[in-house]
Structure 1
Amino acid sequence: MAVLAHAEATDIACYLEAIALPAHEDLREPENGLVMVRGRVGGDGAPFNLGEATVSRAAVRLSTGEVGFGYTLGRNRHKAKLIALCDAMVQSDEFAATVEAGVIAPLRAATIEKRNRRSAEAAATRVDFYTLVRGEG
Structure 2
Amino acid sequence: MDAKVKQESPPDPARKEGMRLLAQATLNELSSAWEALADKPEVHPVRGPETGLVMVRGRIGGGGDAFNLGEATVSRATIRLSTGEIGHGQLLGTDKHRARLAAIFDALSQRDGDKADVEGLLGRIEERLTQDERRKAEETAATRVDFFTMVRGDD
TM over 0.5: yes
Point out the more displaced range, 72-81 or 41-50. Answer: 41-50
For 2:86, give the aligned amino acid. V
Equivalent position of 2:34 in the other structure: 16
Equivalent position of 2:8 in the other structure: none
Secondary structure of the equivalent of 2:94? coil
Q: Tell me how far 1:48 sits from its aligned partner.
A: 1.6
What pairs up with 1:43-54 in 2 under 5 angstroms?
A: 43-54=62-73
Paired with 1:45 and 1:54, the residues of 2 have a C-alpha distance of: 25
Per the normalisation by structure 2, the TM-score is: 0.81
Equivalent position of 2:110 in the other structure: 91
Secondary structure of the equivalent of 2:70? strand
Equivalent position of 1:2 in the other structure: 20
Aligned with 2:99 (options 67, 70, 80): 80
Point out the more displaced range, 67-76 or 12-21. Answer: 12-21
Alignment gaps of 5+ in structure 1: none
Aligned with 2:124 (options 96, 106, 109): 106
- Structure 1 stretches of 4+ moved >4 Å: none
Secondary structure of the equivalent of 1:82? helix
Q: Deviations over 1:55-79 (max 9, x none)?
A: 1110011111110000011111001
For 1:4, give the aligned amino acid. L
Secondary structure of the equivalent of 1:95? helix
How many residues align structurally?
A: 136
